[in-house]
Structures are given as structure tokens and as C-alpha cells.
Structure 1
Amino acid sequence: MFNRTPNATQKQRKVIHVDMDAFYASVEQRDNPDLRDRPVAVGGSEARGVVAAASYEARKFGVHSAMPSVTAKRKCPDLIFVKPRFDVYKAVSLQIREIFAEYTPMIEPLSLDEAYLDVTENLKGMDIATEIAAEIRTKIKAATGLNASAGISYNKFLAKMASDLNKPNGQAVITPKNGPAFVENLPVKKFHGVGPATAQKMRRFGIETGADLKARSLDFLIEHFGNSGPYFYGIARGIDDRQVKPNRVRKSVGAEDTFMVDIHLFDPAREGIQPLIEKVWAYCDANEIRAKTVTLKVKYANFAQITRSRTTAMPFGSLTELEEAVTLLLQAIFPVSRGIRLLGVTLSSLERRAAENVPPQLLLFV
């Protein structure tokens, strides 16, 4: 079930995770000299909304994505808010992806600003993955003026973990020899794939570190964490057999934010959900995916949760169409009897975008 080491005829896998540094904010600082070396928040506004991305200068003050704008401004009074330009971010992302393609066809994008690359067999015939990562980062800098960080390892999980170790503008490698020990010493709340709710549940079982997770049996993890149990069992041992899947179509694409202050009125709710709409649309657009179904998730102050969905006869053809659909769903839940603490947007019924141009469609919900 778990492939610990390659056999004599099997090459050791070499996976690189490339992650752009503060991507949206860095693009804005690149294009506007007045923003350089200054704290920048992309998205939101000083009065309301949420931060979609923050520059490293802003992060020093504790500003981060999904933070309400008023909180961000309180933490950093000199914070500059900039409206997102997703068309620009997509264009830069395509530049970066062209660089990836010089080295391998095995590219699995995760978003506009990060991707997995399998370079076990690569187009340059290079044997050392760290050298490939360094070359890619240098080319990205030359082509875009932006910094990228990279993680190199023998599987996706550890490559993702490694890319965070020397941010910004750095790279790190986790070898098969030190992979298991690295995981054992890592807090589970930092594991990719372990969200806040799962980390809290693990804590209730006394699972705080990778070593604690490793001590649990496969049966225990399946019993308490369902289908994620085998994944947790493997990564606790530094094992992850997931392949880098180019051109994959995900079953769904979603984004959600929890607000520091509960929302009671439609206008701030619509303001707060806009970055989520733009985020899921940007992912789909960059990966040439379209969706027929959009789902609105609402969690109230008492943690009661509802979802509302709409399915179109044809996939959403533009960001504007998606915005209109989400707005209709959101309007339908107002007025509310209690505050809203979380909003989310998920796209599903995904399919590849047709190559030819398709005229705009009418939103006919079924």
C-alpha cells in the first residue's frame, strides 16, 4: 500500500513544489514603483472587506490573507489597499508555466502562483533536482521580475513542506534519509492537508506532532478520520504515493473566509465574498476549466451552517456571470436573524473549457 523506497529498477522520484512569494502583492509592487518596500494589501478596502493577499512588509505587522480589512488597517496603519487585477496575475502565471514546460510536461498547477513538477525524467537531462529548481527560480526572476521559492523532495507532501522552509526567495530539500525525522518533529497543524478543524480534532486525541501521529495505527486513523486516514498514516512516515497529475480536472474548487466581526447586512457580505469569487474564477480560468454549479456556504454566529446552489445549463462563461449567480444566492438569505461568521464559494460540475470562442450565455438556472 505504501511504497517506502524505490526498487532496483525504479528511479527515486524527484518532485519540486514552486511557490511564488506574496504573488498578487509582488505583482502590484513590481508594476507600481510607489508601492515597493511598502506594506500592501490586495483586495478589500480600508472600510470593509477582507485581504486577499499581503506583501511581506505588511506581514511583519501580522497582516495576512482572509483578515478583515479593518483589522489589517488597525495592525498596520500605513497599509495600502490595492484592487486585485486577476487578468494581470493570470498573464504572469502563464509566463511562469511556460518556464516549467521547458523542464517537464509533468506539471500540476495548484493555483495561479504554485505548482508541483515531477522532474524524475526531465527535458534537460539534469540529474540534480535542486539545480533544476534553482534554474527555474532564476528564469522566473528574469522573465517576470518576481521571486519564487521552491521545495524539493521525493514526494508531493514533503516538497510542499520544504517550499516554506526558506521563504521568501529561497529553496530547501528534504531527502529520503531525513524525511521521516523531519515529519516526526513537525507540528501536525503545519501539515499540508491538515486544516484547523482536523488539527483540533487530532489535539483531542493527544496528537500534536508527526511522531504522535505515527504512533497511531492505520485502523485508528481510518476510524476517526475516514478516507483521510491512509493519507495521514503515510505522511506520518514520510510516505506519499500521490503522483504529479498534469492537466487534472478537480471535482471542485472552493474558497472561504471567516470574518473577525459577524456580518449582518447584505452590502458587507457581498463585499466580503468578492475576493472568494475572484479567487475560484482565477483558478479555473488559469487552468482552462469551467463550472456549471456554484454553491454558497454560510456559517452563522451560532455555527449553524447552510448551503445554497445553482446549476446552469451551460458553464459560466465569465467572471461577471459568476458574480451575478453568487449575488442572487446571497440576496436570497437576507435579511438574516443572526450574524454571519463565514462565507464560502465552491464551483463544481467542472469541465475543460472549449477551445473555440463561445458567445455569452444567459443564466438559465435549473
Structure 2
Amino acid sequence: MVQGNARAILHVDMDAFFVSVELLSRPELADRQVIVGNPGERSVVLSASYDCRALGVKSAMPMAMAVRLAPRAVVIEPTHSLYVAYSARIMAIFSEFTPLVEQVSVDEAFLDVTGSIRRLGPPEAIGQMIRERLRSELALPASVGVAASKFVAKVASTRAKPDGMLVIRPEQTLSYLHTLPVDALWGVGAKTALVLREMGITTVAQLAHTPQNTLSRRLGATGNHLFDLAWGRDDRPVETEREEKSIGAEETFAIDIWDDAMLRREILHLGHRVATRLRQSDKIAGVVALKLRYSDFSTLSRSRTLPVPSNSAGDLVSAAEALLAKLGSRPQAVRLVGIRAEKLSDAGGGMQLSIDPRDDNWRQTEEAMDMIRSRFPAGALKPASLLEHGQKREETPGPS
């Protein structure tokens, strides 16, 4: 139970989300090792079943390494439209328990249920109800952490995996935190962990009992941040609106390419992915950026301001293709291409429409495609030009 004025924060994290969603339509693989990601040595793991994780397979690991660690695993190409559709249904369930939902990624969120306790019961009961709803309605497992702060709730959900729930009551917070290794703290990456080890600090308890000025001298503002976390101090609220600064997608090719037609086809593919995400977020973009990475890993980025902010794939693709043409002859083959929509604003205020009726026809067509995908998320609806040469794999998602 929440005591006094303590907040009740839940961190809900779906378990091996991409794998779990893919298995809904592939029940015959339920007992198999599964990796989600594009095949090919240059691809990376997007998600892996827990039996693969036990063998050392991790997200963002090169696919070639993952296959060596788990040679019996089945590799499934990702279906990002399906993940987005299920994510929307998951977040809708969360909103039935509290209006204070902060979506962190496609498969996790913080919920402040302090105001829901009188109506629904203690936070651990709410957490269990959420897990049961996700299981019964979507057939998806989730782990839940319950605590008085976002940081501790996140720690709890991580240690509840897979498919569990861990409650850390306010009076238990410090005693629990001080049993953990120091890398459990937000902000402790490999470099910070190395500095702390050099200081003889390997546990949260050791860090908590290190003078704060000593930490700040070695680590600057990070030292002060870690000191507060080690003492359970985290008063950040659950933010119901996270303003996206940009939306993008990119693709790494299995083989470096020179061919203009293949590059433009990939730009078309990525443009539709980005435009769909813009419309789902009710955003329009004022700037389109094109990213190219060459064979030697050198990377360039060029951007163009749109005449009118838009969330139409046609507008995004036209801008990206113009940027590509302006680059002229390329010095090397292309390893990666990406598109990013920037300078986002709300679409709710309305968009200035072109006087060319063809533009409005394309916009209506794209909106119709969105509606069809929302009703039939497992479908593969896409422009005909992307189907001419067979099914194209979906892109590796870039950061938002």
C-alpha cells in the first residue's frame, strides 16, 4: 500500500515485445528460439526470446554474432506496422487505469496511479489488473515495477522480468537499492562504471556513502545525479506529453549499393514509413533531412525546408529525392540511407493544401491506407512501386 503522501508509480515493460507480437501469428514457434531482425551480417538484433538471451543474444547485437551464439534460432524479419498497432492498443489499456501515462517507447510506459487507488485499490492490485488485461485481450506478457518514483519503478520492472511484478514500498526503497550493483543506476554506462571502479565503488551502497563533493569532482553533474539516485531521490513527474523533435527511419543495405533506382526505391519506402508515423502522432514536418553513409562509414546529412509543412509521403519523398539529386555523383557506394522529418508541429491546426488536386488525392489515399492498416494490422499494404520487385524488408528503426 502507498503510505502517506507517497506517489504510486508503475513502470510497465512488455516482455520481448517484437518476438511476442510475431509469435501471435506463428504459434508453431512458441517453443523455439526466436530472433527478430533482418537477416544478413550487417543487420542487428531488434529483439530475442528469453531462451536466446540466456545464450548471450542481446538487442542491438550484430546478427552474425547472434546467429553464432544461437545457431538453432529462427530469424524473423520485423513487421514494424504491426508493432505500432499493438503499441496503440497497449497504451489505450493503460489510459483506462489513469490519465497520467508517459509512453517511453513502443513497448513501455510509466503510469502514475496515485489518484486511482481510491477507485481501483492498491498499486500492486492495479499492476496485476493491467498484466491480466494485456494477457487476456492481447495475449502479450508484461513485467511491472511498482514504487514511489520513476527510477525505482524502472529498476523493479527490470528485475521482475520475464512476466512478473515487483513491488518496492517506500520504506523499502533504500534497503533495496543498496543491495544493487552500481550499474543499476540511470547514467552509469561503461565509462562511468570504469571511473567508479577506479574509485573502489561497485555497489549502490558504496556510492551512497561516498561524499557527494568527491563524486562531483570526478564526475561533474553526473556525480550529483547518481548520489541522489543512490538515496532514492527522484521527484520527476510522469509526463503525459513527450514532444517529439523529429521522426525518422533508416536502412542499412546487405551489400553497398551504387544503383540509383535501388536507392530511390528505398527512399520511397522510408518516406512512407516516416509519413505514417507523422500522421499517427498528428504531426507535420517543416524540414526533411536525408542521411547517407558510405562504404568507409563516412556520413553526410542534408536537409531541405518544405514549402508547406506536411505529413504526406509524397512531399517527404520528393524533398529527399531532390536532396539526393543535388549531391550529384557519389564518391563511394552507399551503405545506409535514412530520412528524418524535423521541425515538427501539430497537424490539428490544419494544413495549407496545394491547388493541385493530385496532391489532395495522394493525401486522401495515404489516409485511407492508414485506416486499412489500423483495422488489419497484420496486412502488408504499401505502394505498388514497392511491390514490383518482391517484398522489401522493413527498415531498422532509427531513434526519434
TM-score of the aligned structures, taking structure 2 as reference length: 0.69
From 72, 96, 106, give the equivalent of 1:78.
Answer: 72
Partner AA of 2:18 in structure 1: Y
Partner AA of 2:135 in structure 1: K
Distance in 1 between residues matched to 2:198 and 2:277, nearest whole Å: 35
CA contact (8 A) 1:184 1:209 kept: yes
CA contact (8 A) 1:231 1:240 kept: no
Distance in 1 between residues matched to 2:257 and 2:191, nearest whole Å: 28
SS at match of 1:162: helix
Note the residue ranges of structure 1 that are not aligned, 5 or more in a row: 1-5, 271-275, 362-366
For residues 54-90 of structure 1, give each alpha carbon's deviation from its aligned partner in whole angstroms, at most 9, with x where no partner exists: 1223222221211111111111112212121111111
Equivalent residue, structure 1, for 2:127: 133
Distance in 2 between residues matched to 1:230 and 1:347, nearest whole Å: 35
Change (3 A) 1:40 1:104: same
- Are 1:232 and 2:226 counterparts? yes
Equivalent residue, structure 1, for 2:44: 50
Distance in 1 between residues matched to 2:292 and 2:107, nearest whole Å: 25
SS at match of 1:64: coil
CA drift at 1:180: 1.2
CA contact (8 A) 2:101 2:112 kept: yes
Equivalent residue, structure 1, for 2:172: 178
Distance in 2 between residues matched to 1:95 and 1:108, nearest whole Å: 15
CA contact (8 A) 1:295 1:347 kept: no
Note the residue ranges of structure 2 that are not aligned, 5 or more in a row: 264-269, 354-359, 364-400
Equivalent residue, structure 2, for 1:247: 241
CA contact (8 A) 2:290 2:337 kept: no
SS at match of 2:163: coil
- Are 1:31 and 2:25 counterparts? yes
Partner AA of 2:172 in structure 1: N
Equivalent residue, structure 2, for 1:41: 35
CA drift at 1:41: 1.4
RMSD: 4.6
Equivalent residue, structure 1, for 2:92: 98
CA drift at 1:92: 0.9
Change (3 A) 1:94 1:183: same
CA drift at 1:346: 8.2
For residues 190-249 of structure 1, give each alpha carbon's deviation from its aligned partner in whole angstroms, at most 9, with x where no partner exists: 323333333233333333221232234444444444444443221110110100010121
CA drift at 1:285: 7.0
CA contact (8 A) 1:297 1:345 kept: no
Distance in 2 between residues matched to 1:24 and 1:131, nearest whole Å: 27
Change (3 A) 1:325 1:188: farther
Change (3 A) 1:68 1:280: farther
From 3, 6, 9, give the equivalent of 1:15.
Answer: 9
CA contact (8 A) 1:86 1:282 kept: no
Change (3 A) 1:238 1:55: same
CA contact (8 A) 2:275 2:312 kept: no
From 296, 306, 310, give the equivalent of 2:303.
Answer: 310
SS at match of 1:178: helix
Greater CA drift, 156-165 or 179-188: 179-188
CA contact (8 A) 2:146 2:157 kept: yes
CA drift at 1:353: 4.8
Partner AA of 2:122 in structure 1: I
- Are 1:116 and 2:110 counterparts? yes
From 185, 192, 204, give the equivalent of 1:210.
Answer: 204
Distance in 1 between residues matched to 2:210 and 2:340, nearest whole Å: 33
CA drift at 1:21: 0.3
CA drift at 1:43: 1.5
CA contact (8 A) 2:36 2:76 kept: yes
Distance in 2 between residues matched to 1:278 and 1:23, nearest whole Å: 23
- How many residues are aligned here? 342
Partner AA of 2:17 in structure 1: F
CA drift at 1:150: 0.2
CA drift at 1:306: 7.1
Per residue, is there more helix in 1 or in 2?
2
Change (3 A) 1:86 1:355: farther
Change (3 A) 1:223 1:279: farther
Partner AA of 2:195 in structure 1: K
